[in-house]
A and B are shown apart, each in its own frame.
Chain A
Amino acid sequence: MLVTFAQAVGDAMKEEMRRDDRILVFGEDIAEFGNIFGITRGMLEEFGPKRVRNTPISEMAFIGAAMGAAETGLRPCVELMYADFSLVAFAEIYHCIAKWRYMHGPEYKLPLVIRSAMGSSFGATGEHSNCLESLYMHSPGLLVASPSNAYDAKGLLKEAIRNDNPVMFFEHKQLYKTKGEVPEEEYTIPFGVADIKREGSDVTVIAIGLMVGRALEAAEALAKEGVSVEVLDPRTLVPFDKEAVRRSVSKTHRAMVVEESNKTSGVGAEIAAMMQEEMYDELDGPVVRVAALDVPLPYNIELEKYAIPDAEQIAAAIRKML
């Protein structure tokens, strides 16, 4: 069936909540209001106020509570409305959630998921537009997912909820309305397994989240010019499927990373550095990074568009590699 990304996320949670009554959902405006994007609509009615709770605007407190609940036997799937707000509880996530089991011992499992809407969305400006995967990739102990379509979002979220490790789960706002084919039957997608979204032989483009669609557009345009682009979607950044990347570049020998976040210390920096350390022999040239400009995203929509890679920019960068 054809469903939106938003529906797929909501369905994943509802299906898991029906399966396991230890799963709780809480966050800002997620109960009666059903979350600002409508994702949790119907949950309060189906699962009741014990399992679906509105929180005050107190990220530090409810992220802390999610930890305490996870330690003691519940499985919270909490919502931090925007990824930007995760910084308000950054120490709780970066120091505590990530390191808790390491610092206290193996019995301290934290089966919890923190879901956040992220990314640019037409004038949301510098504090409501960030893609922060790289910050959380930098904190050993966390898993990080950044799906690019409805099918992946559903399968990965179900896996995240079942996983005994803490998971940062990022959902791009511009993807919420995009539709994709999702099977009726149950499925999950394991973490650390990349997906080749388009096969090609000249260049490997590793694209993340919203950028997967733009990379596919670029690949389509370049196909008309006789350039064959492989688009690889890692789907999860921690764990990261290095082997899939290796397989792809051992065929194409050229690689690019496309991300929506700004370039400095971004996801692309990490992937490019890793490839140069571990796959140098496969590469015929440097790994190219296509990323946003190093600016806070401006309010002006034309400038916002200018700051973030689009399909044309990706295509132009690929042409330069050949």
Chain B
Amino acid sequence: MEYSNEFLVKLYEELLHCRLFEKKLVDTYALGKIPGHIHSGLGGEACYAGTLATRQQGDYFKNSHRCIAVANLLGVSLETAFSEIMAKRTGNAGGRGGVNHVSQLKYNMLGFSATLACDIGLAGGAAMRLQYDGIDNIAYTFYGDGTANRGPVHEAMNLAAVWKLPVLFVCDNNQFGISTHVSQGSSVPNPAADRAASYGMPSAIADGTDVLNVYEAAKKLTDHIRAGNGPAVLECKNYRWRGHFEGDQTPYRDKKVTEEWMQKDSVAKMEKLLLDKKIIDQATIDNMYQQFDDEMERAIAFAEASPAITPEEIYEYLYV
């Protein structure tokens, strides 16, 4: 595919955003500033940035727990995101939801369920609304290789296919469901793509460490969906760089393999491409890192300075 420089820089920016945000989450968690648990998405950024490069105004999104930065790509401010993550009133749910629930409906985000897969059908519901109004937008739903084995995923795929709903199922296959390798959990080598055929859906497998490869696969599938042909499945192969949660020392896998995968770095690949083609120079890249880090630090400072909700507010948002 031919790309404009503008497209490549924008794609890189979004990829880098995901990378640096995920890094910042890990660092901030280590400082004890985040309650609960985080699930680092380091290593899987290209799956999200590449897929979302196909998005259009009016599309709907159901995120996973691995790339919270998706919320920012879709419009949620860093201040809102870090406030929710740090349990402050200035978060989207005032700190009632937390890191997995950084979401705003005004940016067409459908929310996330930490009972993995229980939210998978949301995209189908949003797609029903699009279909009802005759709008040719689509709904994206991200999930992982572990979740791919849960029943709701299969039901949602079948329902989307039966009703020809405009849904793209995107599997971030980082090869581990907590400690269980995908080969121990799925009867087929590709837990999302291989199963698409049984629901009569097209599918593609992308190199989840190559953001352009993901984009190209996603573009083909989303064009198919936008043309009114019903749902499709995209599976992005990558590798979870860190443990399932922070503190998971990953005794279940070979460190050498992890290091090999970490060499397949989607951000480094994109930087090499941009530098080789002289689209941007190293100073510009360095500047982007710095600028984005500054923005995140400001957002964290804002969140830290923000008040938490009080016990008097504990029932708010429960009922309309």
Residue A106, interface by CB 8 Å: yes
Complex contacts, B60 vs chain A, CB 8 Å: 68, 72
Residue B273, interface by CB 8 Å: no
Complex contacts, A53 vs chain B, CB 8 Å: 163
Distance (whole angstroms) from the CB of A145 to the closest CB of chain B:
14
Binding site for A on B (CB under 8 A): 60, 62, 92-94, 96-98, 101, 103-106, 110-111, 113, 115, 118-130, 132, 139, 151-152, 155-156, 158-159, 162-163, 316-320
Bound-state CA distance A55–B158 (Å) is 10
Q: A58-B158, A64-B156, A72-B60 are in contact. Are A100 and B128 (CB under 8 A)?
A: no
Residue A66, interface by CB 8 Å: yes
- Out of A71, A100, A108, A109, which one reaches B126, CB within 8 Å? A71
Q: A64-B121, A65-B121 are in contact. Are A72 and B113 (CB under 8 A)?
A: no
User: Top 9 nearest A-B pairs by Cβ distance?
Assistant: A64-B121, A68-B125, A61-B155, A103-B97, A68-B122, A58-B155, A69-B125, A65-B125, A61-B159
Bound-state CA distance A109–B320 (Å) is 7
In the complex, the answer to whether A60 meets B97 with C-beta atoms within 8 Å is no
Bound-state CA distance A105–B110 (Å) is 11
Interface residues on A, range: 35 or more
Residues of chain A in range 59-78 having any CB-CB distance to chain B below 8 Å: 59-74, 76
In the complex, the answer to whether A68 meets B132 with C-beta atoms within 8 Å is no
In the complex, the answer to whether B115 meets A58 with C-beta atoms within 8 Å is no
In the complex, the answer to whether A68 meets B124 with C-beta atoms within 8 Å is yes
Q: Which of A90-98, A148-156, A244-252 contacts B (4 or more CB under 8 A)?
A: A90-98
In the complex, the answer to whether A101 meets B158 with C-beta atoms within 8 Å is no
Complex contacts, A102 vs chain B, CB 8 Å: 93, 96-97, 317-318
In the complex, the answer to whether A65 meets B113 with C-beta atoms within 8 Å is no
Complex contacts, A163 vs chain B, CB 8 Å: 320
In the complex, the answer to whether B123 meets A68 with C-beta atoms within 8 Å is yes
Bound-state CA distance A59–B139 (Å) is 20
- Out of A24, A104, A108, A164, which one reaches B128, CB within 8 Å? A24
Listed by A's residue number, 18 A-B pairs whose Cβ atoms lie within 8 Å are A53-B163, A56-B155, A56-B159, A60-B151, A61-B152, A64-B122, A64-B125, A68-B110, A68-B128, A69-B126, A72-B129, A92-B152, A95-B118, A104-B93, A104-B101, A105-B93, A109-B320, A165-B319
In the complex, the answer to whether B320 meets A92 with C-beta atoms within 8 Å is no
- Out of B101, B155, B316, which one reaches A103, CB within 8 Å? B101
